[in-house]
Structure formats: C-alpha cells, structure tokens
C-alpha cells in the first residue's frame, strides 16, 4: 500500500519538488505560446496570482503517447499532401514524374548495358528521396505542438532545406570530379548517348523550376521556415536543370569538334551549383547550430546587457543566450542578479521591453537575489 501511494505521488505533477535554490525565480515572457495543449491536471485557484507573468509548472512526456509514432506521422503527412496547398501538390507531381522517368531509364540502362544510364537513374532516385523528405516535412510541419515536441514541428522544414543543400553540395563536388576524370582519361565520346536522357530530364526539371519560380532568388530573405524548404526545392530542380543543360551543351560542342568540351561545361556547372547553394547551406546550418539571430547585430545584445547592468538594483547580468528556433521566431534566456529585498517587477518589465524591441519573441528571465 505504501509503494502504491508513493507511485501515485510521483505521477502527480503538483507533488513534484523543483528544489530551486532560495531566491531563485524564473519568469517567462512570450508573444505567443510555445505549446498549445491543455494542462493534464488543472487545479482551481482560490485567488488570482499577484504576478501573472510568473508561472511554475512541471511538464512531462508520456512514454505511452501514440501521437508521434512514425506510422501516424506518415499518415498525417499523406493527409496533408492530399489536402495541402498548391506547392505541396506540385512537388508531389514533380516527384512522381521523376520517379517514373528514373525507373524507365534504369530499365533501359540494364537491358542495353549502358552504365551511364544506370548511374544517372540512381542519381535521380536519390534526388527523389531528398525531395520526398521535403514533401514529408511540408505536411508534418503543420501539426500542432504536443507534449513531446513542445515547440512544434516547424524546424523539420529547416532540416529538410539543410539536407537538400548538403545533397546539392555533394552534387557539385561529384560534377567537379567527373570533369577531372574526363580531362585525365579523355572519355567524353562514350557519353553521347546520354543526350536523350539529358533532354528529357531537363524538360521535367524545367517544369519544377516553373512551379517554384517565385523562390528562385539568390539573396532571399527567409521570413518563415517554409520559405527555406521551398527555396531548397527550387534550387534542387534548378541545379538538375543546369546539370542537364551542361551535358547537352557539352555533347553539342563535341559534335563541333571542340576539345575538352565536357570538362569545361561540367566545371562551369559545378561552380554554378556551388555558388547557388552555399547561401542556403549557411543559413540553415546557422539555425540548426543555434547561433544568435542573424537579423540582430551582436552589438545590440551587448547594448541591452549594459543597460540592464546599469540599473541601480542590478548586481550582475550573465548567461545571456539567444537563438532562432525557425526563421521569424527568436528565443532568449538571461540571468539577472539583484539586491536582496528589491521589487523585481520593474526590472522584469524593463528587460522584457528591451529584448522585445530587438525581436525576441520568447524570453525567459531568471532573477537571483544576492
């Protein structure tokens, strides 16, 4: 009986002991809630709290939750694709066309013993896998936050864009290696049969460029996570189009008797793809590494810290950390040590106002008395 009462006490969030040090207070400021599910055990309060900005709650994750299992996530993504927006349906059409074409190319390459066709078919299949992941994230990122993913699934869009950028950088490197191999071995002639494959692939990818043409900008400003994902899809089909155009141009130059035409064309394509993808790779990698928001200059954070430290009641400002969860949503936390007995409300309002003006939507302030 004693063990059962102990287990029930452990499961009760109200009986959880936080064991904060004396004088420790943590207050959170947010322009929008980070998760939107009801409290598991609401308890009526006899009187309103004198400080509504402060809340202490014990959040927990249920191990038996079935809302985030891979099968249900896949079903949710398929439903989102079926009922999704125009870009989602267009991407699904693009993937279907590329898969059908890569399968036909693979079969022709196997029956005719053409290694180049088989290699190109595998390249297209791998690219379709990357685009499928982008499509999956477009559907699943619409899910609301839950007990497991309290910030939601929006960052999956950033991860998909980073994966696309990484694949395209690898494509750029492989094209450079292929150009070097053609220069050393002089094996350009045996690839003339790829001209039909390159033309067909170019037509399919130009359709994708037309679908996502509004994101075909070099210096794009990412206001939302889906902007990154759509831009990565556009760069993916654009890079494949440039690659196919390079092969067609190389074959035409070879018929004109131009020496090292394939080396020249593939080298130019390799550099062009690298220059197009590098900004996206830097932007997505920065968010995944949780560096400070790129739209806020570091001197602005230092200025805010100096203004807070200049208050008469403040003794020290430390552990100031700021990062972007996704484009357009910045998070921060800061620790402020104040004198014993002072009223912390004006200090909290001042700190919150300073960082909200900078664009920090979700700020957590820890007050320590000393």
Rounded Cα distance between 360 and 334, Å, is 12
pLDDT single digits (tens) 43-79: 444 444 344 343 333 333 343 444 556 676 666 666 7
For residue 49, give both structure tokens. Answer: 């709290």
Q: In terms of DSSP bridges, do strands 362-369 and 329-338 run parallel, antiparallel, or are they unpaired? A: parallel
- What pLDDT does 239 receive? 92
Torsion 271-273-276-278 (CA) sign: negative
When pLDDT is averaged across residues 92-107 and rounded to a whole number, the result is: 88
Residue 24 in contact with residue 366, Cβ under 8 Å? yes
Structure confidence at residue 229 as a pLDDT band (50, 70, 90): very high
Residue 188 in contact with residue 262, Cβ under 8 Å? yes
When pLDDT is averaged across residues 330-337 and rounded to a whole number, the result is: 92
- Structural domains of the chain sorted by starting position, each given as residue range(s) with its CATH number in brackets: 71-289 (1.20.1510.10), 298-369 (3.30.70.1350)
Rounded Cα distance between 170 and 151, Å, is 31
Please give the radius of gyration of the chain, using alpha carbons only, rounded to the nearest integer. Answer: 28
Poorest-confidence range of 77-86, 100-109, 170-179, 214-223?
Answer: 77-86
When pLDDT is averaged across residues 334-355 and rounded to a whole number, the result is: 90
When pLDDT is averaged across residues 139-150 and rounded to a whole number, the result is: 85
Residue 313 in contact with residue 336, Cβ under 8 Å? no
Structure confidence at residue 280 as a pLDDT band (50, 70, 90): very high
Residues contacting 366, CB < 8 A, separation 6+: 24, 25, 26, 27, 319, 333, 334, 335, 336
Poorest-confidence range of 39-53, 174-188, 242-256?
Answer: 39-53
């Amino acid at each position: 009986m004693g063990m059962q009462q102990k287990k029930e006490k452990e499961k009760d969030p109200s009986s959880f002991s936080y064991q904060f040090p004396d004088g420790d207070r943590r207050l959170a400021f947010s322009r929008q809630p980070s998760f939107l599910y009801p409290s598991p055990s609401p308890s009526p309060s006899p009187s309103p709290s004198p400080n509504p900005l402060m809340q202490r709650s014990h959040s927990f994750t249920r191990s038996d939750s079935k809302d985030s299992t891979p099968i249900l996530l896949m079903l949710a993504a398929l439903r989102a694709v079926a009922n999704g927006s125009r870009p989602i349906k267009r991407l699904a059409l693009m993937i279907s066309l590329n898969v059908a074409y890569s399968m036909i190319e693979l079969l022709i390459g196997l029956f005719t013993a053409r290694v180049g066709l088989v290699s190109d078919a595998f390249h297209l299949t791998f690219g379709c896998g990357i685009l499928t992941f982008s499509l999956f994230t477009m559907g699943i990122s619409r899910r609301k936050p839950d007990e497991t993913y309290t910030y939601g699934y929006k960052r999956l869009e950033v991860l998909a864009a980073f994966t696309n950028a990484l694949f395209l950088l690898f494509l750029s490197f492989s094209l450079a290696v292929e150009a070097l191999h053609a220069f050393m071995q002089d094996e350009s002639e045996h690839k003339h049969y790829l001209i039909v494959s390159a033309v067909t692939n170019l037509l399919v990818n130009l359709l994708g460029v037309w679908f996502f043409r509004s994101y075909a900008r070099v210096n794009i400003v990412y206001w939302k996570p889906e902007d990154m994902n759509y831009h990565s899809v556009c760069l993916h089909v654009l890079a494949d189009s440039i690659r196919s155009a390079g092969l067609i141009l190389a074959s035409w130059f070879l018929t004109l008797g131009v020496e090292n035409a394939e080396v020249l064309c593939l080298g130019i394509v390799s550099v062009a793809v690298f220059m197009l993808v590098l900004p996206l790779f830097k932007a997505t990698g920065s968010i995944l590494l949780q560096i400070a928001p790129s739209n806020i200059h570091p001197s602005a954070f230092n200025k805010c810290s100096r203004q807070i430290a200049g208050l008469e009641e403040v003794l020290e400002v430390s552990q100031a950390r700021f990062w972007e969860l996704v484009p357009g949503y910045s998070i921060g936390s800061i620790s402020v040590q104040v004198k014993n007995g002072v009223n912390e409300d004006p200090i909290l309002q001042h700190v919150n106002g300073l960082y909200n003006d900078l664009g920090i939507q979700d700020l957590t302030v820890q007050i320590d008395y000393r």
